[in-house]
């Protein structure tokens, strides 16, 4: 019998409307550095690989790296074109992510005469998304409704790329007609807009000398409400190759430092080391807004030379995907006020207001491994005592303020 006298715990963040930003996630209580604010499971996952992928090393359902050929199984219909890490994963996939229609659609889209094979990988991956989304409409109408409720309705159905994708799918592999949501160019356009603004990239394992790419994209219903800040106060972790039975594609968002109640919790949609002009360009092109965060207010006045100083040139991770990163200790205040902001002091953050007030942030919260550019957040606090161990959300490295720990050691 359950004890009804214990109230359920209050979630650490709640949704709120913020003028000029739409929906946002705001803290409901003071939070400690490292505290988990959200664990979210995807309603939709799809591969980031080209349609013809002879080098597939990930499970087509859970996207774990396939380590053991002994327990690996293939699809009963398309055979080795879709591999699963074990029979259980395949069994779940056949009634959810890899139904007979998905299997047929992907098989036809990769046939030799498919017009998609001559298109760029991005276009092929968008086709994978549309197939996954129209399949969701049939296997889980509720989750499809949730997808439709996310931000994004601006892509015109007359857009050439959208029309092309829609016409290919409609001629080669029209979705089953028992979805209540129908199938149309305008719905395809709306779905592509949802994907562009909300999909998170689950990355391939970090390797210092190799450009890191996305293994799969996922749409996460609650994490989609995190807005962007160029110095974020939370960052996102995933553990796709975790051996846990369930939830390996969940994303976990932790705050980077202490936060007061009522504070908006933001991620960075790409690595924080990007220059002002590059950040503004990507936010405008990919997300449709001009960023007016405290860091951008400062850097907007920098000369080209100043822009190049202090920040790395590393490129981001996936596309509309989000990468994660850090936080802004500074909030509503002016540049000068930042140096005296009491919250800044509470958080133990820097007051180096020398034209580059966020230098301390980079020192404290940006991974210093070559070519990583990940964000560091403390491990979750134990009994409200913050951990001194920092975890990088890109390479997984654990370190304390003095001594880096074993780079392979990961927190699961
Ligand atoms: C993943 S959604 C975030 C949740 C969204 N605000 C909503 O209402 O559903 C991304 C969209 O949020 C808005 N957004 C995110 N960060 C913003 C910011 N710093 N300033 C203005 N708008 C922002 C943009 O419209 C962007 O395309």
SS (H, E, C) the chain: CCCCCCCCCCCCEEEEEECCCEEEEEECCCECCCCEEEEECCCEEEECCCCCCCCCCECCCCCCECCCCCCCEEECCCEEEEEECCHHHHHHHHCCCCCHHHHHHHHHHCCCCCHHHHCCHHHHHHHHHHHHHHHHHHHCHHHHHHHHHCCCCCCCCCCHHHHHHHHHHHHHCCCCCCCCCCCCHHHHHHHHHHHHHHEEEEECCCCCCCCCCEEEEEECCCHHHCEECCCCCEEEEECCCCCCCCCCCCEEEEECCCECCCCECEECCCCCCCCHHHHHHHHHHHHCCCCCCHHHHHHCCCCHHHHHCCCCCCCCCCCCCCCCCCCCCCCCCCHHHHCCCHHHHHCCCCCCCCCCCCHHHHHHHECCCCCCCCEEEECCCECCECCCCEEECCCCCEECCCCECCCCCCCC
* Residue 326 pLDDT exceeds 60: no
Q: Are residues 222 and 184 in the same domain?
A: no
The pLDDT of residue 336 is: 30
List pLDDT tens digits, range 334-387.
333 322 333 333 333 444 444 566 788 899 999 999 999 999 999 999 988 889
Burial class from Cβ neighbours inside 10 Å (0-12, 13-18, 19+) for residue 147 reads: buried
The pLDDT of residue 209 is: 84
List pLDDT tens digits, range 34-71.
999 999 999 999 999 999 988 889 999 999 999 877 88
Q: Point out which residues pair with 390 in neighbouring strands.
A: 378, 399
Burial 191-216 (b: 16+ CB within 10 A, else e): bbbbbbbbbbbbbbebeeeeebebbb
Q: Are residues 87 and 234 in the same domain?
A: no
Q: Are residues 146 and 189 in the same domain?
A: yes
* Residue 83 pLDDT exceeds 60: yes
Cα(106)–Cα(125) distance, rounded to whole angstroms?
A: 11
Residue 27 domain-assigned (yes or no): no
Burial class from Cβ neighbours inside 10 Å (0-12, 13-18, 19+) for residue 230 reads: buried
Q: Are residues 149 and 116 in the same domain?
A: yes
Characterize the bridge pairing of strands 266-267 and 227-228: parallel
The finding on whether 149 has its CB within 6 A of some atom of ligand 1 is: no
* Residue 327 pLDDT exceeds 70: no
Using an 8 Å Cβ cutoff, are 238 and 214 in contact?
no
Number of domains observed in the structure of the chain? 2
The pLDDT of residue 130 is: 98
| Nearest ligand 1 atom, CA 24 | 6
List pLDDT tens digits, range 234-250.
999 999 999 887 899 99
Burial 74-89 (b: 16+ CB within 10 A, else e): ebeebeebbbbbbeeb
* Residue 188 pLDDT exceeds 60: yes
Range of the domain at 98: 44-200
Q: For residue 367, what are its two tokens?
A: 């991974």
* Residue 168 pLDDT exceeds 90: yes
Question: Which among 166, 200, 234 is the end of a domain?
Answer: 200
The finding on whether 155 has its CB within 6 A of some atom of ligand 1 is: no
| Nearest ligand 1 atom, CA 226 | 3
Q: Are residues 165 and 227 in the same domain?
A: no
Residue 25 domain-assigned (yes or no): no
The best mutation among 220, 227, 272 to test binding of ligand 1, ranked by most ligand atoms within 8 Å of the C-beta, falls on: 227
The pLDDT of residue 350 is: 41
Question: Which among 133, 165, 200 is the end of a domain?
Answer: 200
Q: Are residues 317 and 362 in the same domain?
A: yes
- If you measure from the C-alpha of residue 197 to the centroid of ligand 1, how many angstroms do you get, rounded to a whole number? 8
Mean pLDDT for 175-186 is 90
* Residue 189 pLDDT exceeds 60: yes
Q: Are residues 170 and 247 in the same domain?
A: no
- If you measure from the C-alpha of residue 321 to the centroid of ligand 1, how many angstroms do you get, rounded to a whole number? 13
Average pLDDT for the chain: 85
Q: Are residues 251 and 394 in the same domain?
A: yes
User: When comparing pLDDT for 85 and 402, which is higher?
Assistant: 85
Its ipTM equals 1.00
The finding on whether 23 has its CB within 6 A of some atom of ligand 1 is: yes
- If you measure from the C-alpha of residue 289 to the centroid of ligand 1, how many angstroms do you get, rounded to a whole number? 8
């Amino acid at each position: 019998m359950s004890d009804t006298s214990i109230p359920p715990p209050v979630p650490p963040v709640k949704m709120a409307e913020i003028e000029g930003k739409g929906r946002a996630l705001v803290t409901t209580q003071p939070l400690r550095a490292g505290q988990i604010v959200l664990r979210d499971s995807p309603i939709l996952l799809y591969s980031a690989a080209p349609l013809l992928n002879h080098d597939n090393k990930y499970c087509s359902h859970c996207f774990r790296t396939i380590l053991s050929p002994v327990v690996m199984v293939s699809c009963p219909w398309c055979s080795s074109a879709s591999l699963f890490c074990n029979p259980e994963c395949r069994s779940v996939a056949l009634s959810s992510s890899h139904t007979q229609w998905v299997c047929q659609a992907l098989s036809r889209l990769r046939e030799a005469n498919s017009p998609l094979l001559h298109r760029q990988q991005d276009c092929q991956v968008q086709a994978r998304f549309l197939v996954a989304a129209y399949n969701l409409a049939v296997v889980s109408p509720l989750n499809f409704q949730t997808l439709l409720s996310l931000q994004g309705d601006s892509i015109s159905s007359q857009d050439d790329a959208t029309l092309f994708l829609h016409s290919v799918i409609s001629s080669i592999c029209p979705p089953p007609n028992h979805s209540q949501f129908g199938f149309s160019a305008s719905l395809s356009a709306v779905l592509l807009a949802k994907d562009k603004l909300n999909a998170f990239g689950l990355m391939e394992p970090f390797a210092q000398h190799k450009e890191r790419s996305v293994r799969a994209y996922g749409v996460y219903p609650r994490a989609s409400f995190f807005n962007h800040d160029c110095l974020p106060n939370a960052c996102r972790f995933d553990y796709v190759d975790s051996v846990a039975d369930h939830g390996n594609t969940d994303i976990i968002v932790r705050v980077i430092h202490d936060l007061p109640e009522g504070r908006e919790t933001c991620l960075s949609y790409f690595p924080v080391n990007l220059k002002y002009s590059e950040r503004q360009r990507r936010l405008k092109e990919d997300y449709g807004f001009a960023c007016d965060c405290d860091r951008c207010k400062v850097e907007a006045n920098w000369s080209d030379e100043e822009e190049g100083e202090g920040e790395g040139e590393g490129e981001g991770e996936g596309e509309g995907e989000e990468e994660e990163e850090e936080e802004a200790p500074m909030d509503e205040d002016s540049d000068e006020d930042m140096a005296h902001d009491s919250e800044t002091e509470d958080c133990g953050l820097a007051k180096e207001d020398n034209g580059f007030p966020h230098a301390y942030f980079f020192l404290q919260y940006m991974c210093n491994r070559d070519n990583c550019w990940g964000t560091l957040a403390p491990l979750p606090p134990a009994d409200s005592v913050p951990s001194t161990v920092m975890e990088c959300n890109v390479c997984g490295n654990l370190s304390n303020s003095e001594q880096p720990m074993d780079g392979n050691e990961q927190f699961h």
